[in-house]
């Protein structure tokens, strides 16, 4: 069976289609899926279905360009998170809606125009949240009738809605063609569960139940993130994903800077920024990002552009204030899709509150990495499982 796409990665790449021997496990219920849409959808579906199996909670992921901007399970939102994610504190949210709000909230700037994957039947609670967000489409195992009607009205009726056959089992061998040459490999069907979190190599050998949960979330997220990749997780969600970097330390820095922003957005100074009432949510996300970037914010102040966003001039959040606030967070989990070649990754992770680490191990400098963890009281396990994804 074949499904014709609008075009490939770019408009000049025609014709484009997806096909399979037999029935496709996806049904496009509304809109028209694109090439990158389906790559995001199928990677996202695998991620959320694994998260649900591993944790027992409904799960959601926000994908952009074949990597997750965020992934999460359906834990309730605190009042702080509701405010941080621009959710009315009086709205009643289903667990699935909470999962998506968390996934998108991990990195709201990157999630703008995302493709959504959820593990469970889409309900009205989630549909009402999605109605107000800029998104390209969604994949789910099913949809409530009212929820489907709400989503089908997005993008003037062109919103892509895909139904996934939960019973589908892919072939054990994957194939792809690059430059006319066919590659084959066994599908990465390794199971990620708590059995991977038992080989402690550090003096600290304690993982709390929440740490185990967050490490599983980070590892499963990495399984569907373009490599090299590092993921920080906390409170049932990713808080920083560093994807597609050639250097491990750049992954750790990129993900760490996103984790820092996630923590800083919870600071009362940021939560209470005096936004003008006519500033939409995406612009608020951009303004917060600028406000927390010292150099960019000084340029905004120097040029008097703060009035574009705020009713009054906010006081700068100094480096000292940022450090003091970030020092409150010391329970972050981190996973890496391959070993850490140098201890600089541990030093950078510790600065962002990392206390628990899961990585494959196997570097010639493992002892240096372990020593750095011991110096900071970090608990680290070697999983023995590399998770490269390309």
Q: Which residues are catalytic, by number?
A: 64-65, 228, 390
Specify the DSSP element, H or E, that contains 290. Answer: helix 281-291
Helices 248-264 & 344-351 angle (0-180, nearest 10): 10
Q: How far apart are CA 136 and CA 17, in angstroms?
A: 18
The answer to whether 263 touches 75, Cβ cutoff 8 Å, is no
Nearest partner of 68 among 233, 249, 191, 210, judged by Cα: 233
Helix (H, G, I), strand (E, B) or coil at 162: strand
Residue 170, SS3?
A: coil
What are all long-range contacts of 366-374, with beta carbons under 8 Å and residues at least 24 apart? 366/201, 366/339, 368/342, 368/343, 369/339, 369/340, 369/342, 369/343, 369/345, 370/201, 370/202, 371/343, 372/343, 372/346, 372/347, 373/202, 373/204, 373/346, 374/202, 374/203, 374/204
> Is there a contact between 77 and 153 (Cβ–Cβ < 8 Å)?
no
**CA-based nearest residue to 243, from 227, 219, 220:** 227
Q: Shortest CA distance to 253 belongs to which of 324, 323, 354, 327?
A: 354
Task: Report the candidate in 197, 207, 115 with the shortest Cα–Cα distance to residue 154.
Answer: 115
- 203 phi/psi in degrees, rounded to 5: -65, -40
Q: How far is it, in rounded angstroms, from Cα 342 to Cα 215? A: 21
**Quick one: which of 136, 142, 134, 144 has its CA closest to 160?**
136
336/350 Cα distance (integer angstroms): 14
């Amino acid at each position: 069976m074949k499904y014709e796409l609008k075009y490939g990665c770019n408009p000049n790449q025609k014709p484009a289609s997806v096909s399979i021997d037999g029935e496709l496990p996806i049904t496009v219920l509304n809109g028209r899926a694109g090439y990158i849409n389906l790559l995001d959808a199928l990677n996202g579906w695998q991620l959320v279905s694994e998260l649900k199996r591993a944790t027992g909670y409904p799960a959601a992921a926000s994908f952009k360009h074949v990597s997750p901007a965020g992934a999460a399970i359906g834990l309730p939102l605190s009042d702080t998170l509701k405010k941080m994610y621009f959710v009315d504190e009086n709205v009643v949210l289903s667990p699935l809606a909470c999962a998506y709000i968390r996934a998108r909230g991990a990195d709201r700037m990157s999630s703008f125009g995302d493709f959504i994957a959820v593990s469970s039947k889409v309900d009205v609670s989630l549909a009402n949240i999605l109605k107000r967000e800029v998104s390209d489409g969604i994949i789910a195992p099913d949809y409530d009738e009212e929820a489907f009607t709400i989503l089908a009205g997005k993008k003037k009726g062109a919103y892509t809605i895909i139904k996934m056959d939960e019973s589908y089992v892919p072939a054990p061998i994957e194939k792809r063609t690059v430059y006319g040459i066919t590659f084959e490999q066994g599908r990465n069907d390794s199971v990620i569960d708590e059995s991977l979190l038992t080989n402690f190599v550090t003096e600290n050998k304690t993982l709390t139940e929440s740490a185990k949960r967050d490490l599983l979330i980070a590892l499963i997220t990495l399984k569907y993130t373009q490599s090299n990749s590092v993921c920080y997780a906390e409170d049932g969600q990713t808080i920083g994903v560093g994807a597609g970097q050639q250097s491990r330390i750049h992954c750790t820095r990129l993900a760490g800077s996103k984790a820092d922003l996630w923590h800083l957005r919870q600071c009362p100074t940021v939560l209470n920024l005096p936004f003008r009432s006519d500033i939409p949510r995406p612009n608020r996300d951009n303004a917060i990002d600028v406000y927390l970037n010292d150099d960019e914010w000084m340029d905004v102040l120097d040029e008097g552009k703060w009035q574009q966003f705020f009713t009054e001039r906010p006081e700068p959040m100094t480096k000292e204030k940022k450090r003091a606030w970030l020092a409150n967070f010391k329970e972050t989990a981190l996973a890496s899709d391959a070993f850490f070649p140098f201890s600089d990754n541990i030093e950078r992770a510790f600065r962002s509150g990392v206390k628990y680490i899961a990585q494959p191990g196997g570097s010639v400098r493992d002892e240096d990495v372990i020593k750095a963890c011991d110096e900071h009281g970090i608990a680290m396990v070697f999983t023995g499982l590399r998770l490269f994804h390309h």
